[in-house]
Structure 1
Amino acid sequence: MTISTSIINHHLIFILLLLAPPCPAANTLGSWSILLPSIGISAMHMQLLPNDRVVMFDRTDFGTSQISLPKGKCRHNSTDCSAHSVEYDVVANSIRPLTLVTDVWCSSGALVSDGRLTQTGGWGEGFHVVRNYKSCDECDWQEIPNGLIQPRWYATNHILPDGRQIIIGGRQTFDYEFYPKMSTAENAHSLPFLVETNDPNVENNLYPFVFLNPDGHLFIFANNRAILFDYSKNQVVRTYPIMPGGQPRNYPSTGSAVLLPLRITKGMIDTVEVLVCGGAPKGAFINALNGKFDKALDTCGRIKISDQDPKWFMETMPLARVVGDMLLLPNGHVLHINGASAGSAGWELGRNPVFNPVVYHPKNPAGSRFEVQNPSTKPRVYHSSAVLLRDGRVIVGGSNPHDKYVFTNVLYPTELSLEAFSPSYLDSSLITLRPNIISPKNKAKMRYGKGLAIKFTVLAPVDLNLVYVTMLAPSFNTHSFSMNQRLLVLDSGNSTKWVGQSYYTVDVTAPPSGNIAPAGYYLLFVVHKEIPSPGIWVRIQ
């Protein structure tokens, strides 16, 4: 077999394994496909795991789901023998039911450094519960009844440089705590900022947007304000200006936010930017309760939190959106998906689904950053979710604006299906431009500040100046926010080289510290002309 034939066969195998269902027909605005018509539950929460499986769950008191608990189990003190959590196998396109004991409704979580999902809080008997899930063919949830000091419902989690999670806020919980605990005497810590941003009628500071800044502090956005917070000293380091217009962006107004890609150069990051988009205007929640559905916000605020004198730069989106999800794509673009164009979060309070995703191009000039994509046919309103997969697709599930499973005689029935959005970089016409990583192999190890040599193939000639390497932390997605989401553009200098036939190499330097990349699993991509390879899992320590 010749080298060129081997390369072609390699690409054919990767297409069959990683891009099933088949690659979309040629277009430049993405495409949709149904993966499974029903997963048995409505996917309210999602987390991608390092074995290419996705944990999904809703709430245990939605009523009887359409998938049974494993091995004939029933929930304790209940006649409900149905599951409210499943594990989706991406490669096999199949699901397996999992067992939850306590209620995980409107909870939070993060992928910890050993690849477990550690998930916290929920409703009622789940307020103080910590749950761990380590994936295997027979694995199931393990629950720790009193793992939390405070009740955590609508809280936000983030992985810290030392590997612990910080858990911030929750309904009428104006403090933060850590997990795991350093000692049994450890207490929660007051966070007055959550009191200051709490609207007494509708709150609007739940599921605060939290990002780890490269200096080790936390950027926290709640309602219409933001701070830089030193959690180790319980001290506000910096207060940012109110976003122009003063409109609320957190639950139940429910916009979304991302930390824009962090570019590492010689171990440093010069610019740190946050983008906050969409939501519902002041009063929208109360108005919706009374049958008046206000138009969602159509603005985004972008701020360089690293500037000496940071200011919000406002942009207008082509589509207004509330309860939408913002996801970082492997090439550094931002996907805004799901949601409604009127109303707010809450039972039956959203109207007019937004079927078209929008891609935001951060590096484009202002005025040319938004690109409307092809629409889905499924309304994905309140309690929808979305995560990026290793092959570059985005899976979308959920949508249940009711307090039970309701399938008939309502505007937006409970949605049990799972579908995939394939961004334009997966267009079949671009296959010859798409890189494919040959080495290192999947589950490679990285060490802070150390070099990593990457070998990849591209069938068409490569512009060496248009190759870069990204590292993406898999996020915990619920209620329009992807916790722990961050994308790093690794330092590669001018190291991309052609080494013969369709083979190339690029040498990158791993992130310098846990402040920039907390230890754990990441997806690593080679990007050529903004077209990413399928990712490989790497673990940085």
Structure 2
Amino acid sequence: MAYRPSKRLKKTALGVGAVGLLAALNAPAALSFAEEKYHDYKIAQPGYKKQYGSWKILDMPEEYQLNSIHAALLHTGKVLLVAGSGNNQKQFDAGTFETTLWDPKDNSFKKIETPEDFFCAGHAQLPDGRLLVAGGTARYEVLGDAVERAGGGMRIKNESPDKAVTLKKGTRFRSPTGVEYVTQADVTVPKAKREFEVTYSKKGVMKPWKTKVTAAEVRVFVEAVKEGPSGLTTQAAQYEVVGLKGKDADNVYGIAQKLTTKDQDFQGIKAAYEFDPKAEKYVPVDPMKKARWYPTLVTLDDGKVLAVSGLDEVGVVDPGDNELYDPKTKKWSKGPTRYFPTYPALFLTKGGKLFYPAANAGYGPADKGREPGIWDLEKNTFEKVPGLTDINQTETASSLLLPPAQDQKVMILGGGGVGESTKSTARTALIDLKDENPAFEEGPRLPQGTRYLNSVILPDDSVFTTGGSRDYRGRGASDILKAQFYDPESNSFTPAADPTVGRNYHSEALLLPDGRVAVFGSDPLFANKQNSKLGTFEQRVEIYTPPYLHKNGDDRPVLGDGPQELDQHGRATFEAEDPERIEQARLMRPSAVTHVTDVEQRSIALKVSKSKDSVTVTVPDDKALVPPGWYMVFVTDSEGTPSEAQWIHVKQ
């Protein structure tokens, strides 16, 4: 008798066959799913976290999410996330500028009224704990075929020594041939300078005074009212201000050399504000003398802030007209003249000099301002230093003053070619500025060529580096989902847990007072490997918990209450539960970071003495090593496990 499967068995066999067929068809997807699940399982294990650390996405309510262009840690322990218009033309046109204040202690958030477009501004920590924010965006770039009207820079002259003149955005200028151009920003032209010249005859008799008037001048970007070639001009000409009459019409006029339909770059603003961490608001101060977009602001040993580089009010890289901000007077003055590409990394070093490792971001010719060196601000001299390889790939590089700052060693990591270059380098290099003839030496190479790498100094003297991309703005799906630790003592890298979010252009990372690292932003050009779909700004915030916080659970050194200021000997005593456990102490300056440029962060080794229930730290008396401001004090044990930070104010 022939064997006939039952109806039930037929169905079962058919089901097994169908499953087998589906499994065969979807084998790659099933394998990928299984690998992903195994990876998730592996990275969740305590042993893995103790060795590599862990990542977690911050639960941030949608109404507080923003395009984080700038991130700064305040001495209240809160983090200021600044977007301005967030590289979003529609938000710029609507005047929608954003800032969010985040408190990592309880994960609370607050929207901050933002008075200017601080997109691509500069910022620096001030001696009293306020954050100086200066510069930003006056106008978005217009490129290629999108340029429909001739435009360019116009110098507005005022020959009246009696009064300044304010011209509102939209003021029209008329050429000798009748072509009209309109201003794109409000502008105030100071009154002309009047000088009296006294002369004497041969017999010593004073002649009647002669009056010399020198016209005041400012620049503004203008654009032809009509589209097309009618507004093109390559000839210098004088332009009348439409609507002015009488003496005003004679005294105020415009001069332009060339108005074209070439690419029109971003343009900067002069506005400056201090963010008050206690009142939690922006407070206006005197504007800068020059408009700046993509400037670096660096705090000096006397507490003043130097503003360097940036695109000006007509979209041209500043020629070197740097300026100084005095937080006592809230005013700006002329600084030492020197040219740098935009967002240059400038580190305060011994003797108050600034070191430029050639790391920068953004704009400037490939053959100017790209060499590293030591800038003596008092003499305004620049001593070039040799040894840096891949000198043509320092744009979008990461750089930092290695811990402890007393060693005076600076490191540069990765970088890429100028502009939209596809080049990127795995090179790292170090320089010891204490050497009589300092020169760069090769460091350990990164796993691959990397632009936009973020580097954060940790309390145990290691450097955590994360993210970046191989190509310009993550082009070709080139984000690097890798992180690693750099150990200055062994001069080597070790792997860290992989981040889950890609980070490239407009990304930032900073150390939190509890010893974790927060990573923000990313502005990819495209969203796929084929570069056929436009990218979107990454608004998720990812928190990295280093291995030192996984080793012993919640068991970490405890630094208790203490003073908020140093005594006359530069000391501060804090309560401590187990002083004998404490091995070392570090004074760490809070970050103010943008475009992977963070010239604020530094870690200073402190002398430590202990009693049965307290620990006393002594801060070096060297303003070039410890510029005035608020700092975090961390103590660590023999395993490198840090306490939570206590804040202390180092005054001028």
TM-score by length of 2: 0.64
The answer (yes or no) to whether the contact 1:157–1:168 under 8 Å persists in 2 is yes
Which of 616, 624, 627 is the aligned partner of 1:507?
616
In structure 2, the residue matched to 1:314 is 442
In structure 2, the residue matched to 1:452 is 572
CA distance in 2, matches of 1:259, 1:519: 17
Shift of 1:42: 1.4
In structure 2, the residue matched to 1:113 is 127
Shift of 1:161: 1.7
In structure 2, the residue matched to 1:472 is 588
CA distance in 2, matches of 1:206, 1:83: 22
Aligned-partner residue type, residue 482 of structure 1? D
Indicate how the Cα distance of structure 1 residues 162 and 447 shifts in structure 2: closer, same or farther if over 3 A, else same: farther
Shift of 1:453: 3.0
- SS at structure 2 position matched to 1:532: coil
CA distance in 2, matches of 1:520, 1:184: 19
CA distance in 1, matches of 2:533, 2:448: 25
In structure 2, the residue matched to 1:333 is 462
CA distance in 1, matches of 2:590, 2:47: 24
Shift of 1:128: 0.8
Aligned-partner residue type, residue 80 of structure 2? V
In structure 2, the residue matched to 1:12 is none
Shift of 1:214: 2.5
In structure 1, the residue matched to 2:480 is 354
Query: Which consecutive residues of structure 2, in runs of 5 or more, have no partner in the other structure?
Result: 1-45, 139-184, 186-267, 312-316, 360-369
CA distance in 1, matches of 2:83, 2:645: 28
1:105-504 matches, cutoff 5 A: 105-124=119-138, 127-136=269-278, 139-144=280-285, 147-171=287-311, 172-175=317-320, 176-180=322-326, 186-192=333-339, 194=340, 205-222=341-358, 224-236=370-382, 238-249=383-394, 253-262=395-404, 269=406, 271-280=407-416, 282=417, 285-287=419-421, 293-294=422-423, 296-315=424-443, 316-340=445-469, 342-345=470-473, 349=475, 351-364=477-490, 366=491, 369-401=492-524, 410=533, 412-429=535-552, 431-432=554-555, 434-440=556-562, 444-447=564-567, 449-458=569-578, 462=581, 467-492=583-608, 495-496=609-610, 499=612
- SS at structure 2 position matched to 1:353: coil
Shift of 1:113: 1.4
CA distance in 1, matches of 2:384, 2:451: 26
The answer (yes or no) to whether the contact 2:70–2:508 under 8 Å persists in 1 is yes
- SS at structure 2 position matched to 1:104: coil
The question of 1:540 aligning with 2:650 is answered yes
Shift of 1:378: 1.2
Shift of 1:520: 1.2
The answer (yes or no) to whether the contact 2:512–2:518 under 8 Å persists in 1 is yes
CA deviations over 1:137-181 (Å, ceiling 9, x no partner)? x6322334x611122222211111211111112231132211138
Q: Larger deviation: 100-109 or 44-53? A: 100-109
Shift of 1:471: 0.4
Indicate how the Cα distance of structure 1 residues 222 and 231 shifts in structure 2: closer, same or farther if over 3 A, else same: same
In structure 1, the residue matched to 2:110 is 96
- SS at structure 2 position matched to 1:425: helix
CA deviations over 1:15-46 (Å, ceiling 9, x no partner)? xxxxxxxx998431111111124432111100
Shift of 1:477: 0.6
In structure 2, the residue matched to 1:527 is 636
- SS at structure 2 position matched to 1:387: strand
CA deviations over 1:439-476 (Å, ceiling 9, x no partner)? 426xx2115742333442359x83x7xx1110000121
Which of 46, 57, 69 is the aligned partner of 1:34?
57
Shift of 1:286: 4.2
CA distance in 2, matches of 1:436, 1:450: 22
Aligned-partner residue type, residue 458 of structure 2? L
CA deviations over 1:200-242 (Å, ceiling 9, x no partner)? xxxxx32111111121111123365222222133233x32115
Which protein has greater RCO, CA pairs closer than 8 Å, 6+ apart?
1
CA distance in 1, matches of 2:123, 2:78: 16
CA deviations over 1:264-304 (Å, ceiling 9, x no partner)? xxxxx4x3100000111x46x444xxxxx44x211101010
CA deviations over 1:298-317 (Å, ceiling 9, x no partner)? 11010101101222121212
CA distance in 2, matches of 1:85, 1:183: 23
In structure 1, the residue matched to 2:5 is none
The answer (yes or no) to whether the contact 2:55–2:545 under 8 Å persists in 1 is yes
- SS at structure 2 position matched to 1:190: coil
Aligned-partner residue type, residue 488 of structure 1? I
The answer (yes or no) to whether the contact 1:521–1:539 under 8 Å persists in 2 is yes
Shift of 1:108: 1.1
Aligned-partner residue type, residue 631 of structure 2? Y
1:64-75 matches, cutoff 5 A: none
In structure 1, the residue matched to 2:145 is none
CA RMSD of aligned residues (A): 3.0
CA distance in 1, matches of 2:109, 2:433: 41
Aligned-partner residue type, residue 559 of structure 2? I
- SS at structure 2 position matched to 1:166: strand
CA deviations over 1:303-340 (Å, ceiling 9, x no partner)? 10110122212121234321111111111111112211
- SS at structure 1 position matched to 2:576: strand
Aligned-partner residue type, residue 30 of structure 1? G
CA distance in 2, matches of 1:24, 1:415: 31
CA distance in 2, matches of 1:221, 1:448: 36
Aligned-partner residue type, residue 272 of structure 2? V
Indicate how the Cα distance of structure 1 residues 245 and 396 shifts in structure 2: closer, same or farther if over 3 A, else same: closer
The answer (yes or no) to whether the contact 2:591–2:600 under 8 Å persists in 1 is yes
CA distance in 1, matches of 2:371, 2:524: 28
- The runs of at least 4 aligned residues of structure 1 exceeding 6 Å deviation read 181-185
The answer (yes or no) to whether the contact 2:345–2:356 under 8 Å persists in 1 is yes
Aligned-partner residue type, residue 404 of structure 2? L
CA deviations over 1:326-366 (Å, ceiling 9, x no partner)? 111111111112211x2225xx75741112221101011x4
Indicate how the Cα distance of structure 1 residues 103 and 389 shifts in structure 2: closer, same or farther if over 3 A, else same: same
Query: Which consecutive residues of structure 1, in runs of 5 or more, have no partner in the other structure?
Result: 1-22, 66-74, 195-204, 264-268, 288-292
